[in-house]
Amino acid sequence: MTRKASREPMATVTEKLERVHMDLWGPVEPSLQGMKYMLTITNQATGRVWVYFSRDKMRIVEKIKAWVVVAEAECRQYGKSEKGMAISFDRGKEFLNEAMKVFCSGRAIRIEPTLGYHPEGNGISERSMRTISERGATMRHEMDLPAAYWEFSNAVAAYLRNRGVVKGMAKSPWELWRGEKPRARHLRVFGCPAWVLIPKEKRTKLDKKAWQGVFVGYKDETDKVYLVWNPADKKVHEVRFVKFDESKYMDNTVRQESPSQYDDEKEDTREQEELTDDETDAGDSAKDNITEQEAIDIKEVGGEGTDGNPTDQDAADSEEELQGDTIIVNTGEADISPIGAEERLSPSSDTNSSQPETRSQIRREAVALKREAKQQAELERRQREEQQIAERLKKRGENGRKERAMIARTLLQPNADIYDFEPKKLTFRQAMEGSEKDKWVGAIDEEVQNLIRRQTFSEEITEDTVQGKELVDAKLVFDHKKDKDGRILRYKARLVARGFTQKHGVNYEETFAPTIRLDAMRIILALAAKQGWKVYQMDAVAAFLAADLKEEIFMKVPTELQQHFGKYVQILKSLYGLKQAARMWYLLVSEYLKEIGFSPMAVDPTIFRHTESGVIIGVHVDDFMITGGSEVAIEKVKEKLKGRFEMKDLGEAENILGIRIQRYKGKLTIDQSQFAKETVAQFLYDDSMKHSTPMEPEAIRKLAEEPGRPLNHDEWLQYVELLGKLIWLCNTRFDIIFAVNRMASFTVEACWNHWKALLRILGYVGRTTHYGITYGGNNEHAEGVEGGNIDYYSVDHNIEGHVGSADLQNGDAFSDTDYATDPRDRKSILGFVFLVYGGAVMTYSKKMKSVARSTTEAEYVGMGEATTAALWGRRLLAELEGKGEQAVPLLLGDNKGAVQLTRGVSNTSKIKHIDVAFHHVVDEVKEGRIQVYWVPGESMLADGMTKPLPREAFERNRKRIGIGPC
C-alpha cells in the first residue's frame, strides 16, 4: 500500500463563493503609498481574483471582511445571492487568529487551512499570486518605472487577468462573475504619462489647465474612470477627463527604420481615410478626453522638424493618434512652435526646397489642417459638455444622498433583536452541507413537530384550489440561542412566512404590536434592585403559533418541507413572518393576563402589574420578565402561564434581549460585554487603537471642517454596520451615546475621517468592554462624589438659595444643552439623564430641530423636552410601585436664566417665538407636577450627553451616572 499512496486532486466547485483561496505576498519594499503586503483572493469557481494591499499584517483580517461584504453584494446583484461558504489559506497567523475565527463563525464560513506538505491545498492562490506579481513586474520594467510602483502594477495585472483568457475556462473570470463580456476599448499602457484636466472651478484664466501624472490603473466598477498618480501631491486621483501619451511605449517597441515604398503606400491609404472621414472614431471614450488647447505645456501634435516640414516619425505618430480611442499628446522636449496653414503648405526654405514634394507629404499637411479644425470644434463641444456633466453630477449627487438616507434608515432602525443578529443567515443548502448538519437537522425536526402539534396548517390543498388566490411564500431560517457569555445553548430552525408578499386589505389589516421599551426595562430592573426583588425569566415556545389567524391566507410550502405538509396549505395560526402575527400574539397574551388579574401600565402597555400581589410582568414578544415582592405569588403566576402557553422557565434572569444581568451584594448590574467583545473583534485590529475617551474634545469642529475623502459604497456599508452595533451597545453604555449619535449625523455623507472617529469610539469600547450600569444604593461608582448626592438651588434674580440634595435614588432628572455645537448648522445639542437607585435608566443626546438665538433659549427648550421624559419615567415608577400618586420629580439644569423662565416671566415677548410645545414646562411647574432647580456646572450629570469631555471630566461624569466595571 505504501507504493500506491498518491495525492488526490482537489474537489471541483461550481458555485460562486463556494470556496475561495487566499494568500499573502510580502513584505517587500514599501510602495508609493506605503504598502508592504499584497493579499490575493481567488474565487475557485470563476477564477476571478481580487487584490488588497496593506502596510502590515495586522490589517489583513480587515481587508478580508471588507471583501466578503463586497463579494456578497455583487452576488446579490449579478448572481444568485450566493454567500461565502469556505475560505482556504495557509497557516499564517495573519489568517489563523481569533478575530478571523470570530468573523467566520458569525457568518457561518468554514475555515480550511492547508495541511503540512500539501502545497496543492493552496495552489490556486499560489498560481494567482505568481501570475500577478510577474505580470506586474513586466509592466514596470517595460516603462522603466521604479520598484515602488509595484502596488499599482500588480493591481493592473489582476484587473487585466480578470478580463483575459484563463487556462481551463471557456470564458473570462469577469464574464463568469458578472455575466457580461469585458470591454477593452478603455485599456491604456500602464505607466504612461497622463494629462488630467483641472476643473474650471479650481483654476483661473492664467493657471494651467491640466497637470501631468502617471497612469497607474482603473476603477473596477467602471471603464470611464482612470487612476492617475500625481507626483506633486503624492496621491492617486480618480479622473475622467484625461489624455494619455503612450508614445513612450511606441518608441520602445517600434524599430526606427527608413520608410520603404510599402510604408509610403500604407501611409497614403491611412491619410486618404482621414481626409474622407468626418469624425475621428473615438468610441465611448471620446467624452473622457480633454482637448489640446485645455492642457498647458502640451506641444502641438504633428509639429515640425528642424527643416520646417513634418518628419516621417511625426507622420507615423499622427497615424497612430488618429486611429486610437483618444487624441494622443506629444510631450517631447523639443520646443516646437505651431505654424500657419499657408506656411505649412508652402515649399520649405531648406536646401531641398527645390525638390517637388511627395504625395505623402502633401497629405500629411492636409491631415494636420483637418486636425486643427477638429480640435477647435472639440473645444467648443467640450465646453458645452462640461456644463451638462456638472448639472448631471449635481443631480446624481442629490439622488445618491437620498438613496443612502433610505438605506441608513432601514439598517439603523431600532431593533431589540439585534443582539442575536448574525451578519449572514444560513441557507438550507449551507446548513445541510456544513459541519453542523446533524444539529440543524434536529432543529428542523423540532420545528416540524411544533407546527404539527399546534395545527398550524390545514391538510394539503390542490393547485386548483389556490388558483387565483394570493399566495405567500415561506422559508426556513436558522439561528442560535446563546447564553449571557455568547455560548450556543441550542440550534433553532424556524419556518418564516415572507410577509412582504402580503397585500393590505387582502390578507392582513392591522399589524401594530407593542414591545417593551428598554427604558422601561431598565426602570423595572433598577426598582427590583432597590427593593431587593428577584427577577425571573420565561420564554414562550413557538409563541406566535398559539394565536389563531382570522384572515384566509394560502402558502406555498418550501420544497424541503413538502414531504410533511404537501405543496399548498392554508395557514391557520399566526405563523412567524406574517405581518399580523406579532399583533395576534400580543392580543392573546394581553387578554389572558387581564383574565388572571393583571392590568397593563398606562405609560407602557407591554408591562403588566397584578392588582393584588403586585407581581410585575414585562413582555417582549416571547420573552417574559417577572419580578415582585412575593415569591409565592410569582410562582403561582408562572404556573398559570405554563398552564395556558407552552413555556420554558429559565429561572432567575441572566440574559434578556442580549443584556446580561448580575446580582451581588444588594446591587444589580446590566452590561453587553459579550456583544462589545464580538464587535471589537470584528472591526478593531490593533490594540494601539484603544482610547481612554470615545471622542476628543475638538472632534465635532474638526470632523465638520476636515471630513477627508468620501467613503466608497463598500466602505460606507461597513460604516453603517459598525454604527448600528454601537447604537445597540448604547443601551447599557450611556458613556458613548453622545459620540455615537454625532457620528450617526454624518451617515449619509460619511467620509474617511468620520470612519476613523467611529473606530475611535470602538477603541474606547475595546478598552472598557466589561463596563455596564450598576443599580444599588451607595454603589462604588458614586463614591467620592459628595456621598453620591447633588446639591441644588433656587434662583431668584440670579441670587442662589440652597434647597436640598438629590440622592439619585427615586427618579431625578438632569437637563443640559450645548449651544450652537454643530458648525454645519449651528443647532444646539440637548442632553438628558434620569437616574433611579444610583444609576441612569434613561438618557438621550439629540440635536434641536431649530437654531436657538441664545444659550438661555437653548437650555429652556431642552428643559421642555426633559420635562416630558422625566414625567413619563416618574409616572411609570409610581405605577410599578402601586402608588396612586407619583412623587414629584426633580429636574435640574445649570443655566440660571432658563431655570427662572420655567417659573414664568412677566414679559413673555422675550420667549414668544419659541414653539408652544416647549412652554408646557411652565405649566407643569405651576401645577406642582415637577420641580425645576439650578445646579453648578460641575454637578451637571447630563454634561457628557451634549459635548465631548476631556478625560478627567469624562471619567468623573461616567462614574456619577453609574457606569463602570461589572
Binned at pLDDT 50, 70 and 90, residue 666 comes out as: confident
214 bridge partner residues = 193, 229
Alpha carbons 776 and 662: distance in angstroms, whole number: 12
What is residue 754's predicted lDDT score, i.e. its pLDDT? 94
Checking if the pLDDT of 906 tops 50, the result is: no
Which residues make beta-bridge pairs with 836?
Answer: 810, 839
User: Would the pLDDT of 60 be above 80?
Assistant: yes
Mean pLDDT across the stretch 367-391? 63
| Residue 317 identity | D
SS3 content of the chain, % helix, strand, coil (to 5): 40, 20, 40
**Residue 413 pLDDT more than 60?**
no
Least confident of 183-187, 597-601, 882-886: 882-886
CB 930 within 8 Å of CB 889: yes
Q: Average the pLDDT over each of 30-44, 335-349, 439-453 and give the range with the smallest value.
A: 335-349
Q: Look at residue 345 in the predicted model and tell me its pLDDT.
A: 33
Average pLDDT over residues 305-319: 39
b/e per residue, 906-936, with b = 16+ CB within 10 A? eeeeebeebeeebbebbebbeeebbbbbbbe
What pLDDT, on a 0 to 100 scale, did the predictor assign at position 126? Answer: 85
Query: What's the mean pLDDT in 676-703?
Result: 85
786-960 shares the fold of 20-178: yes
Mean pLDDT, range 274-288, rounded to an integer:
35
Count the residues in the chain. 966
> What span, in angstroms and rounded, lies between the C-alpha atoms of 230 and 211?
8
Amino acid at position 4, single letter: K
Task: For residue 229, list its beta bridge partners.
Answer: 214, 236
Determine the Cα–Cα distance for residues 500 and 475; give it in Å rounded to an integer. Answer: 13
Confirm if 875 and 886 have CB atoms less than 8 A apart: yes
Q: Is the pLDDT of residue 653 over 70?
A: yes
Flag whether pLDDT at 590 surpasses 90.
Answer: yes
| pLDDT tens figures, 465-510 | 888 888 888 889 888 877 766 678 888 888 988 876 666 766 566 7
What does the domain layout of the chain look like in residue ranges? 20-178, 186-253+262-269+278-347+358-390, 428-664, 670-769, 786-960
Q: Give the amino acid at 226.
A: Y
Determine what percent of the chain is predicted with pLDDT higher than 70: 75
Dump pLDDT digits (tens) for 219-251: 877 788 999 999 988 899 999 889 998 875 433
Can you give the pLDDT at residue 144?
86
- Least confident span in 39-48, 458-467, 602-611: 458-467
Q: Which of 466, 645, 644, 440 is nearest to 571 (CA)?
A: 466
Q: Cell numbers for 489, please give them.
A: 445553548
Kindly state the average pLDDT of the residues 688-692. Answer: 81
Assign 3-class secondary structure to 211-233: EEEEEEEECCCCCCCEEEEECCC
Most confidently predicted of 232-236, 244-248, 560-564, 635-639 = 635-639
Backbone angles phi and psi of 853, in degrees to 5: -95, -5
- Confidence (pLDDT) at 216: 94
Q: Out of 219-223, 350-354, 373-377, 506-510, pick the least confident.
A: 350-354
Q: What value does the mean pLDDT take over residues 617-621?
A: 93
- Count of C-beta atoms within a 10 Å radius of residue 901: 24
Rounded Cα–Cα distance for residues 328 and 302 (Å): 11
Mean pLDDT of 607-616: 94
Res 400: pLDDT: 58
Question: Residue 739 has what pLDDT?
Answer: 96
User: Which triple of cell numbers denotes residue 870?
Assistant: 422625566
Phi, psi of 142 (to 5 degrees): -60, -35
**Model confidence at 646: pLDDT above 70:** yes
Task: Specify the higher pLDDT residue, 366 or 74.
Answer: 74
pLDDT band at 395; cut points 50, 70, 90: low
- Model pTM? 0.60
Output the pLDDT for position 384. 65
DSSP H helical segments within 487-548, as ranges? 518-531
Integer Cα distance of 420 and 522 in angstroms: 19
* Average pLDDT, integer, range 614-635: 94
Instruction: Return the C-alpha cell found at 685.
Output: 485590529
Share of the chain above pLDDT 90, in %: 37
- Residue 63 binned pLDDT confidence (cut-offs 50, 70, 90): confident
Residues 6+ apart with CB under 8 A from 910: none
Question: What is the assigned CATH class of domain 786-960?
Answer: alpha beta
Q: Tell me what the mean pLDDT of segment 103-128 comes to.
A: 77
When pLDDT is averaged across residues 604-622 and rounded to a whole number, the result is 93
Q: What is the pLDDT of residues 199-222, one digit of tens each?
A: 888 888 788 888 999 999 998 777
Can you give 670-724 as a three-state secondary structure string? EECHHHHHHHHHHHCCCHHHCCCCCCCCCHHHHHHHCCCCECCHHHHHHHHHHHH
Instruction: State how far the alpha carbon of 385 is from the alpha carbons of 13, 196, 200, 260, 311, in Å.
Output: 48, 16, 13, 43, 35
Higher pLDDT, 494 or 422: 494
Average pLDDT taken over every residue of the chain: 79
**Shortest CA distance to 863 belongs to which of 913, 901, 909, 908?**
901
Q: Are 69 and 2 in contact (CB under 8 A)?
A: no
- The number of helices, as runs of H, and strands, as runs of E, in the chain is 25, 33
**What's the longest Cα–Cα distance across the chain?**
124
Region 852-874: what's the mean pLDDT? 89
Per-residue confidence (pLDDT) for residue 767, from 0 to 100:
93
- What is the per-residue pLDDT for 514? 84
Of 591-600, 615-624, 814-823, which gets the smallest average pLDDT? 814-823
Please tell me the CATH superfamily of domain 20-178, with its number.
Answer: Ribonuclease H-like superfamily/Ribonuclease H (3.30.420.10)
Please say if the pLDDT value at position 314 is more than 90: no
Mean pLDDT within 882-904: 85
- For 268, counting Cβ atoms within 10 Å of its Cβ (0-12 exposed, 13-18 middle, 19+ buried), the class is middle
Answer yes or no: are the C-beta atoms of 944 and 957 closer than 8 Å: yes
Predicted confidence band at 421 (pLDDT cuts at 50, 70, 90)?
very low
Query: Residue 686 — very low, low, confident or very high, per pLDDT cuts 50/70/90?
Result: low
Could you tell me which residues come within 8 angstroms of residue 905 by beta carbon, excluding any fewer than 6 positions away? 911
Please provide residue 841's backbone torsions phi and psi, each rounded to the nearest 5 degrees. Answer: -115, -25
CB within 8 Å of 633: residues ≥ 6 apart: 610, 613, 614, 615
pLDDT at 404 (0 to 100): 61
Which residue(s) pair with 479 in the sheet?
492
Give mean pLDDT, residues 684-695. 80
